[in-house]
Structure 1
Amino acid sequence: MGGTGKTTISKAIYNEIGSEFEGRSFLLNIREFWESHTNQVSLQQQVLCDVYKTATFKIRDIESGKNILKERLSQSRVLLVLDDVNALDQLMALFGSRKWFGPGSRIIITTRDKNLLELCGVDEVYTVEGMDESESLELFSWHAFKQPSPTKAFAAHSADVIAYSGRLPLALQVLGCYLSKCEITEWQKVLEKLRCIPHDEVHKKLKVSFDGLKDVTEKQIFLDIACFFIGVDRYDVIQILNGCGFFADSGMKVLEERSLVTVDSRNKLRMHDLLRDMGRQIIFEESPFDPENRSRLWRHEEVFDILSKDKGTGAVKGLTLEFPIQNTVCLNTKAFKKMNKLRLLQLSRVQLNGDFKYLSGDLRWLYLHGLKFPSSYAPAEFQQRSLVVL
């Protein structure tokens, strides 16, 4: 399952032994990237760029990328970490066989599917064991009290949090960060909530920390990141969400302090997939059977159905739709006419036809990839004074 520490352990190993290799690369959250992006060759490019410290590699498609990886990596002693793999085609694209790598290379794979490891013939399988009570207490205490054990006044409450959290590292981290600045009365409220949640319902346990965000704008920032901004530059996201009136400088700091959002070495926003799924479940529950009445839309089939049938509503505040490189779909701008509260819009390889005046005047972020503006529509109708990023 997720949240048990597989990525954390692999990062620690990577940092510990990485300098012993001629080149190294850590591909984070492969499952998430594979499901949400059509440009999978960029992962192959990242491996080469990381290993050889250059951005000059250009790969046309997955198959040619396999040949390039095999040709180049076989000449070097490489450390490669493939994090959160969930499909064989991902492994075949990034780690075809041992022959791809030079002598002495090491490949570490993290996955929730043990069968995948057996299919690619790994040498060893390490199963992450659950933490015992003392380990759980120490992890929680470091986040809640900045020391390895709880203060005397909170000892009993800390033990209860550990018991009800299922000793899941991610939950202990998130709850510890949330409770670190809370009075004893707030601890008691959190414990009451945790007591009512079954052990296997991890999302609900994590939602306790989301519910504890005091400011509504902090919640909006979290939900926008969960749906649209994972992997996007932190500075750019702050600029966009400041434009939405969310005071994102301070809000982002709160989310980072509570471990709801992290920032990687490239200044890109990251979020554990369990936290991402928890946020997206909140959006789903706004209108389980009518997606057009949800505030954020990211599922490809639902978004295309809504736009192609002009089913948009004023409830929609953010939307993304992406098609593969080989496909370009035409839609009419009238599909956005009823979405008068739309703040965030990302379209990739979608050709828009019609009058651009139908796009919401509330737009703050407009990302159009692979779209050519019709010269007869773009100028006058597209004067979006409120846009922060185009």
Structure 2
Amino acid sequence: MCRHESKFIQIIVQEIVSKLDFTVLSVTPYQTGIDSHVKDINLWFQGGLNNVSVMMICGMGGIGKTTIAKIVYNQNFDKFEGSSFLANIRETAKQPNGLVCLQRQLVSDILKWNKERIYCVAEEINKIKDAMCCKRVLVVLDDVDGLDQVNALLGMRDWLHPGSKIMITTRHVQLLKADEVYKSYVVKELNDDEAICLFNRHAFGQDKPIEAYVEHSKRVIHHCGGLPLALEVLGFSLSGETIDVERKCISKIKNTFSRENS
């Protein structure tokens, strides 16, 4: 077998492996208020076939950015030649060699190979370039809070192959420079109807509250301010409770917000 045939077979094998190795991300079973966001972002996927497109999904912590990104990723990753979802970048980057670990995962996801031994951020940039310059890729950078993290994981955006899509979830609307071409999508809080539905699905397993807890539910919604994370945590933690719901809710709300803002 000549060298060219061997290389050609290797390419075919890698392509087959990549098609068989897709992993669907797990998401919450209750997706109240998510559909409209997913629909809007999916429209973005239909354009930009001849260039690299970047979207920032922005909003406060706990607003549902990651859930939205996961659903969109699950619905679109099989349309690309390579894909990667890098979760919890803000926290991972704080760990020793955190950015290097994320870089390894990115290259491994795109090439469908075992994670290579990479020891420094600068060394990995060239490997990322080689991995993504010839493929249409979908990459999600989840919970980014610094431009240095974007640069370490994507390098120069002009390295990316035309048709590639990059989604970045962040709390910082001004994360990217003003002169860079990207689309910003801001996620808003749930309205009252959506908030009540989400809370009660987790607390009572149904869209509407049990009659005895209607007023309690309304006050909980008011304290949560339409924040999905707080509603989910409170609803789940109160599932099966029968007494003093409101007092427990307010206490848990305070704890949830203090952790989220730390």
**By the TM > 0.5 criterion, same fold?**
yes
1:125 to 184, 195, 203: 184
Change (3 A) 1:50 1:67: same
Size of the alignment, in residue pairs? 203
1:47 and 2:106 correspond: yes
Amino acid at match of 1:134: D
CA contact (8 A) 1:29 1:83 kept: yes
Map 1:253-272 → 2, pairs under 5 A: none
Q: Secondary structure at the match of 1:40?
A: helix
Give 1:190's aligned residue: 248
State the 1:76 CA deviation. 0.8
Cα distance per residue 1:205-256 (max 9 Å; x no partner) = 4289xxxxxxxxxxxxxxxxxxxxxxxxxxxxxxxxxxxxxxxxxxxxxxxx
* Structure with more contact order per residue of length (Cα contacts < 8 Å, sep ≥ 6): 2
Change (3 A) 1:92 1:191: closer
Give 1:141's aligned residue: 200
Alpha-carbon distance in 2 for matches of 1:137, 1:77: 41
Give 1:206's aligned residue: 256
Unaligned runs of 5+ in 2: 1-59
CA contact (8 A) 2:99 2:149 kept: no
Give 1:163's aligned residue: 222
Change (3 A) 1:89 1:119: farther
Q: Secondary structure at the match of 1:113?
A: coil
Alpha-carbon distance in 2 for matches of 1:42, 1:274: 25
Give 1:78's aligned residue: 137
Change (3 A) 1:39 1:132: closer
Amino acid at match of 1:206: T
Q: Secondary structure at the match of 2:174?
A: helix
Give 1:274's aligned residue: 260
Change (3 A) 1:122 1:112: farther
Alpha-carbon distance in 2 for matches of 1:174, 1:9: 18
Amino acid at match of 1:178: S
Give 1:6's aligned residue: 65
Change (3 A) 1:136 1:149: same
Q: Secondary structure at the match of 1:148?
A: coil
Give 1:114's aligned residue: 173
Cα distance per residue 1:134-185 (max 9 Å; x no partner) = 11111111111222222222222111111112221111000000111100x2
Cα distance per residue 1:276-299 (max 9 Å; x no partner) = x4xxxxxxxxxxxxxxxxxxxxxx
Q: Secondary structure at the match of 1:84?
A: strand
Alpha-carbon distance in 1 for matches of 2:101, 2:179: 22
What percentage of aligned pairs have identical amino acids? 41
Give the aligned CA root-mean-square deviation in angstroms.
Answer: 2.2
Amino acid at match of 1:274: E
State the 1:189 CA deviation. 2.8
CA contact (8 A) 2:220 2:249 kept: yes
Change (3 A) 1:78 1:191: closer
Change (3 A) 1:39 1:206: closer
Unaligned runs of 5+ in 1: 195-201, 209-272, 278-390
1:102 to 161, 182, 188: 161
Amino acid at match of 2:187: V
Map 1:1-390 → 2, pairs under 5 A: 1-118=60-177, 121-183=180-242, 185-191=243-249, 193=251, 204-206=254-256, 274=260, 277=262
State the 1:70 CA deviation. 0.8
Amino acid at match of 1:149: K
TM-score (normalised: structure 1)? 0.49
TM-score (normalised: structure 2)? 0.71
Q: Determine which structure has more spread, i.e. the larger CA radius of gyration.
A: 1
Alpha-carbon distance in 2 for matches of 1:93, 1:36: 15
Amino acid at match of 2:125: K
State the 1:127 CA deviation. 0.7
Q: Secondary structure at the match of 2:142?
A: strand
Alpha-carbon distance in 2 for matches of 1:39, 1:193: 34
Alpha-carbon distance in 2 for matches of 1:192, 1:75: 53
